[in-house]
Chains A and B, each alone.
Chain A
Amino acid sequence: MHKILIKAFAAFSLLFTVQISFAAIDVHEFKNETNRQRYQSFIDEMRCPKCQNQNLSGSDSPIAMDLRNELYLMIEAGKSDQEIVSFMVERYGEFILYRPRLSPATLLLWATPVLLLVFGALLLLLIVRKRRRIAEEADAGLSQQERARLDALLNDKSVHSSDKNKQEKNK
């Protein structure tokens, strides 16, 4: 029984091991490791214009192949990241970037998470403050009557304890 469970768990966990599938396997020789990594990050973060919702690394369409090759050539030619991005955007538009650039059109997109965070924090602060005020009112707001009753009860307690003492002596 124990063994079966372990096997089942192992099989199940296999489901999570492959996160990105690389449909395309190109043979490129890079000058150095940095270039290889830049190439990889570019093809992962750029979108295939033909097949929506696939990145360049995941697509087998001819245009994705061409663009991968173009990226390879540009990287090996020593072009900067910015030059490469603007080369692509000039031809295929902002559409091709999975990580959109900061511009007036994308400002809301970039700012929304921050705005939501600030809004949430403010909301939290307000709620906490309100609760604290209620709690403080409950604490401090003993009326004259309540105080008198509290005193009475406290006095009563001392009587009780002395009673107890007496009882013990009687034993």
Chain B
Amino acid sequence: MNKQRLFLFIPLVIFAILAVLFWRGLSLNPNDMPSALLNKPVPVFELPILPAPENPDGLVTANPELFKGKVSLVNVWATWCVTCRQEHEFLNKLRSQGVTIYGINYKDNDEDAQRWLAELHNPYVFSIVDADGRLGLNLGVFGAPETYLVDKAGVIRYKHIGDVNEKNWNETIKPIYESLK
């Protein structure tokens, strides 16, 4: 009889297991997608650089070699992207603090992009023109803005989806950035 009684606890046990699973599962952020390229070098590319007065002299094409030597942020942006406009001011601020930022002008129009940089200030060392989105595809970009943290060896160490702002910079990105320096 006692043994039979124990079976009455089966629903309770099942409930407890499900509760633990849901507790864990529902507290995960579904938008949290680690980059598949994490800890891998920036994929190979050879693309033109968006002409801008702030560009390093004589540089017209970019390749992954240029990312080496310094810890940097690689920011995917476009003029059609509303959040990028919001993010831009903070990128300017980071640049003024001495953070190296490279831009990838993703599926955009050169003239619009140049006007944007002239109007809103250019926080990028240079911006790579990725007109057809091939580089974006190879990086696993699925929207703008996205920002990659690249270490001195040109290896991707972190991927941030959405805008970089004061909060997530201080809480998440900056500690990794500092640790790579």
Contact = CB atoms under 8 A, between A and B. Distances in A.
B142 A49 contact: yes
Given A63-B143, A90-B36, A92-B36, A52 B137 contact: no
Interface of B: 30-31, 33-37, 107, 133, 137-143
A52 B31 contact: yes
B71 to A, nearest CB: 23
B143 A95 contact: no
A91 B30 contact: no
Contacts of B107: 62
Given A67-B137, A91-B137, 8 more contacts: A62-B107, A63-B142, A89-B36, A91-B37, A91-B139, A93-B34, A93-B35, A93-B140
Classify the interface of chain B: helix, strand, loop or mixed. Answer: loop
A66 B31 CA distance: 20
A46 B78 CA distance: 26
B139 A50 contact: no
Classify the interface of chain A: helix, strand, loop or mixed. Answer: helix
Interface residues of A, number: 15
A95 B28 CA distance: 14
A163 interface: no
A95 B32 CA distance: 11
Given A66-B133, A66-B137, A92 B31 contact: no
Interface string A47-72: 00110100000000111001100100
Specify which of B34, B138, B143 lies most central, judged by the most chain A CB atoms within 10 Å of its CB. Answer: B143
